[in-house]
Structure 1
Amino acid sequence: MTTTPETTTALLSARALHVAFPGRGGAPTARAVDGVDLDIGTGEIVALVGESGCGKTTLARALLGLVRPTAGRVTFDAQPLTYSARALKAYRKRVQLVLQDPSGSLNPRHTVYDAVAEGLRIHGYGGDERAAVAGALARAGLRPPERFFLRYPHELSGGQRQRVVIAGALVLEPELLVADEPVASLDASVRGEILALLLRLRTELGLSALVVTHDLGLAWNIADRVAVMYLGRIVETGPVEQVLTAPRHPYTQALLSVLPDAPGTPVVLTGEPPDPSRIPSGCRFHARCQILTSGEAERAGVAEACRGRDPEVLSGGGTAQVACHWARARDER
């Protein structure tokens, strides 16, 4: 990787971020994001990793301004995000979303040209629209771009459709991309090409990116830094090589243990992640934690803390951090 967290300045920051959704009919409030600090540096790629339902997509939407936080704040380029229509329109020109399903992102009745030009028209672009669309398609790897202008989404392969979606984001010359499972719907043969494209865009354009994924292998291949999320909170973060070669949180260890070629015995977690409207006391992972059930936490003298004391929220910076009583007890030995 060409960038390290230590050499970047924060472009996008979240501090004490909470997003809660009121329950229906008197049901408890669901705390989808429950206290998150996160920085994304200039030119940095951060992977946000976790199981389905852990809150990572809600966090991404809050960072984009698509969901208004219940508490906390988002800042971009050192300025707090405000939620007026004008401010959000200006913000979304600088921060663009790339969704996982290109077929759902593209209007089947619109040509490739119209799909890419849509953002320019929304933002009142005053330059040469045709040149801007051609340039974005070329940067996304669709060359010669004019060959694709009049094609429709159904005439393209899955990888080409995802490149059109990326071109539609690039045409506005954003500073940050938020990519939600950007290769999940693609064939394995195409995934590497799209990941290589994202890395090339970072190198050539200085783009920052937040990549939301459940795939730790993807994080390894693309990210400078990884943030592992569980039940609304980041439980481990740090440089990708450090976290994925020497994970400290039992949840991260479990996720890594089931990857192909992972050493040792896979850790099979019992049960489903708890309901975000009923977050347990203590460490939110303790009901499924293999360290607690094996007795290791008891031997380390932290079992009571695991069940009764909530670990502190991790800071948003690039240093390696873990929200785990057992891991911290080991560090202190």
Structure 2
Amino acid sequence: MSDPILSAEDVHVEFEARRGGGRARAVDGVNLDIAPGEIVALVGESGCGKTTLARTLLGLERPTSGRVLHRGTPLAYTSKALKRFRRDVQLVLQDPSGSLNPRHTVYDAVAEGLRIHGDVPNERERVADALSRAGLRPPERLFLRFPHELSGGQRQRVVIAGALVLEPNVIVADEPVASLDASVRGEILALLLRLRDELGLAALVVTHDLGLAWNIADRVAVMYLGRIVETGPVEKILTAPEHPYTQALLSVLPDAPGSPVVLQGEPPDPTRIPSGCRFHLRCPVLASGAAATAGVDGACRGEDPGVLAGGTAVQAACHYARAVSSSTGQAAAARP
């Protein structure tokens, strides 16, 4: 992989718990690299820390510890540095209706970023170009329309145009098609892929939908209870996942073979993360006795499998997966 354009380096983000005291570890040690022109899907259940990590990569949350790097340089949190950073790293939210001011025309919505950054020369031309790149042609016919006059797909394209007008090199898209009809989702995903190919844009796509990840991502990072537990190229992770959590998420997709894996209970409270593997309380491999057969049940309950490194390597934070991989590798080495 080329040098990352955006990275999280051992990032932790903690918040004061609303009830009962203590601190909630929303992000609990994450390394994540995004290369130029690469689309990374960050997937997991609601509440696993995906959005907090995305906000931290955008500079909207400051890490409790660790750091965010842009083009290899640690992010500074001065107003001037953040303003410069946000020209290059733009956010696309899941709800275009909530992202657009109902009193602003399409033109004003797209031009807003240019005006905030004092970058108004050739404003009309740049707004038109951004709308065209977002698939709204001819752009001039939309300039004076208001959000309520547009379809959901058109509104999402306007939001994307508002990000593109500043010519960023990274887009962070938080559930970019969750609020859209199924017939429109494919169009927006195709648009993101085309922007990557034409402009070299990198993207972090935050989603709970592994099907979406399959259609758009180059690489997948699976998050559980504040930590990435499996990562690798999309084909590997979505066809041969090693972590039981990833396997459970995949099992409920419509075309998945076998029966869905129903996880017991809810994710633990982030103020009281369990010892050992943070997934062990819900792990079907541990519950079935397979981990005991492999001799790792004690490790599952008592030893932290550790924080995964960044980069493109296939990694899984799972004692059982490592034991199986090790025994398979030893068996292969023993063959004549």
Does residue 200 (structure 1) correspond to residue 205 (structure 2)? The answer is no
Q: Which runs of 4+ in 1 moved over 3 A?
A: none
CA distance in 1, matches of 2:5, 2:112: 26
Show the 5 A alignment for 1:273-284.
273-284=267-278
Aligned partner (choices 163, 166, 171) of residue 165 of structure 2: 171
Deviations 1:46-80 (A, max 9, x none): 00000000000000000000000000001001111
Does residue 74 (structure 1) correspond to residue 68 (structure 2)? The answer is yes
Aligned partner (choices 184, 188, 207) of residue 213 of structure 1: 207
- Aligned equivalent of 1:319: 313
Letter in 2 for 1:21: F
Does residue 28 (structure 1) correspond to residue 22 (structure 2)? The answer is yes
Give the secondary-structure state (helix, strand or coil) at the position aligned to 2:231.
strand
Letter in 2 for 1:148: L
- Aligned equivalent of 2:144: 150
- Aligned equivalent of 1:303: 297
Aligned-pair distance for 1:127? 1.8
CA distance in 2, matches of 1:248, 1:290: 13
Aligned-pair distance for 1:126? 4.0
Aligned partner (choices 309, 325, 335) of residue 331 of structure 1: 325
Aligned partner (choices 247, 256, 273) of residue 253 of structure 1: 247
CA distance in 2, matches of 1:148, 1:137: 9
- Aligned equivalent of 1:267: 261
Aligned partner (choices 33, 37, 40) of residue 43 of structure 1: 37
- Aligned equivalent of 1:3: none
- Among all aligned residue pairs of Structure 1 and Structure 2, give the percentage whose two residues are the same amino acid: 77
Q: TM-score, normalised by structure 2?
A: 0.96
Give the secondary-structure state (helix, strand or coil) at the position aligned to 1:10.
coil
Give the secondary-structure state (helix, strand or coil) at the position aligned to 2:5.
strand
Aligned-pair distance for 1:25? 6.4
Aligned-pair distance for 1:291? 0.1
Give the secondary-structure state (helix, strand or coil) at the position aligned to 1:317.
coil
CA distance in 2, matches of 1:78, 1:294: 44
Q: TM-score, normalised by structure 1?
A: 0.97
Letter in 2 for 1:51: E
Letter in 1 for 2:261: V
Does residue 119 (structure 1) correspond to residue 119 (structure 2)? The answer is no
RMSD: 0.7
Letter in 1 for 2:13: V
CA distance in 2, matches of 1:15, 1:175: 20
- Aligned equivalent of 1:60: 54
CA distance in 2, matches of 1:123, 1:268: 49
Q: Aligned residues, how many?
A: 327
- Aligned equivalent of 1:239: 233
CA distance in 2, matches of 1:95, 1:259: 32
- Aligned equivalent of 1:287: 281
